[in-house]
Amino acid sequence: MIRSAITVSLVSEARGGPFVFWDDLSGAFSRTAKLGFDAIEIFAPGPDAVEDKLLRGLIDQYGLPVAAVGTGAGMVKHGLNLTDSDAGRRRQARDFIRGMIDWGAKYGAPAIIGSMQGKWGGAISRERALELLAEALNELGDHAAACGVPLVYEPLNRYETNLLTTMSEGSGFLRSLKTKNVRLLADLFHMNIEEANVAQGLRDAGRYLGHVHFVDSNRRAAGLGHTDFGPIAAALRELNFAGYVSAEAFPLPDSDTAAKKTIESYRNLFKT
Ligand SMILES: [Mn+2]
C-alpha cells in the first residue's frame, strides 16, 4: 500500500525551503491528522531538538507515525557534509547523521541523507567524493540496520549536488555498497530536472526505492505544477511500492492549501 505523508520543518535556517508545515510541531500533527494523511516527515535541527515525551505523545494522540527524519540541518545549521575535504569535518557530519538515525529509529523512522552528501570540487575529485560517500553510507547503513531502520539516500538535481543525480546512477551506486540497508529516495522535483522520463526513473530505482518526495514540477504541492502524475502513479503501483509518498513542497499559496491539494492529488492517484 502506498501511504501519504507530509513534511514539517523545525529548522529556522531552512526558512524559504520546501516544507509544508513550519515550526509548530503540535499544530502540524493536528492538521496532518485532520486532513487524513498517514504519517508525518520531520525536518529537525538535531537529535535533541524535540522532547521525547512530546513526540511520543503526539504520535499516540493523533495515531500518526513518523515517515522519515531529514538530516539536512547538519548542512544548513553546521555547514557539515560527508564529502568535505577536511577529515574532521567529515567525521562530524557522520556523527551528526548517526545521531539523527538513532533519534528517528526510536520512532521507527529512517533518516534521509540529501544535502549532507555534499559535492565534489577543489581538493576533492569526483572519484574521491564517491569513495567518501560510499564509506559513509556503508558505515551509517550498517548502523541504521543495527537500529532496525533503513537508511535513505536521495539523489539531488544538478544545482544541489554534482555527485549522483538520477535514479539509475543512485541504484548503481547502492548496488556497489557493502551494506544492503540503504534505500533510494525518489524526489519528483529533482527527477523532473534530471530524468529523461520520471516514470522510467522510478523503474530504474526498482527494488532500491524506499521513499518518494511527492511534489510537482515547480516544488509546489502535487497538482499545482505541470507534472503528469498518471504514469508516475502507474510505475509506483507496478513496483508494488509500499512506502510513503511525502509532500516536500513549498507552503504555497499557504500551508493548509498546499496540504489539502496534496492529499486531494494523493487520493485521486492512489486511492482509485
Ligand atoms: Mn527531497
- What distance in angstroms lies between residue 188's CA and the mean position of ligand 1's atoms? 8
Residue 211, strand partner residues: 185
Q: C-alpha grid cell for residue 233?
A: 502513479
- What distance in angstroms lies between residue 133's CA and the mean position of ligand 1's atoms? 18
| 257 confidence band (pLDDT: 50, 70, 90) | very high
Active-site annotation holder among 41, 194, 195, 248 = 248
pLDDT in tens, 166-210: 999 999 999 999 999 999 999 999 999 999 999 999 999 999 999
**Catalytic annotation present for 154:** yes
> Quick check: 108 and 68 in contact, CB under 8 A?
no
- What distance in angstroms lies between residue 192's CA and the mean position of ligand 1's atoms? 12
What is the domain count for the chain? Answer: 1
Q: How far apart are the first and last CA of the chain?
A: 12
Say how far apart CA 16 and CA 269 lie, in whole Å.
28
pLDDT at 64 > cutoff 90:
yes
Q: Report percent pLDDT > 90 for the chain.
A: 99
pLDDT at 272 > cutoff 80:
no
- What distance in angstroms lies between residue 121's CA and the mean position of ligand 1's atoms? 23
- What distance in angstroms lies between residue 87's CA and the mean position of ligand 1's atoms? 27
**Catalytic annotation present for 194:** no
Q: C-alpha grid cell for residue 174?
A: 547502492
pLDDT in tens, 100-109: 999 999 999 9
What pLDDT score was predicted for residue 100? 98
In this structure, what CATH number is given to the domain that contains residue 201? Answer: 3.20.20.150
Q: Which residue has the cell 485521486?
A: 268
> Quick check: 215 and 20 in contact, CB under 8 A?
no
Q: Give the residue-averaged pLDDT of 245-249.
A: 98
Average pLDDT in the chain? 98
Q: C-alpha grid cell for residue 206?
A: 526498482
| 271 confidence band (pLDDT: 50, 70, 90) | confident
> Quick check: 220 and 193 in contact, CB under 8 A?
no
What pLDDT score was predicted for residue 190? 98
pLDDT in tens, 88-98: 999 999 999 99
- What distance in angstroms lies between residue 167's CA and the mean position of ligand 1's atoms? 13
Active-site annotation holder among 154, 169, 195, 238 = 154
Expressed as residue numbers, the domain containing 156 is 3-270
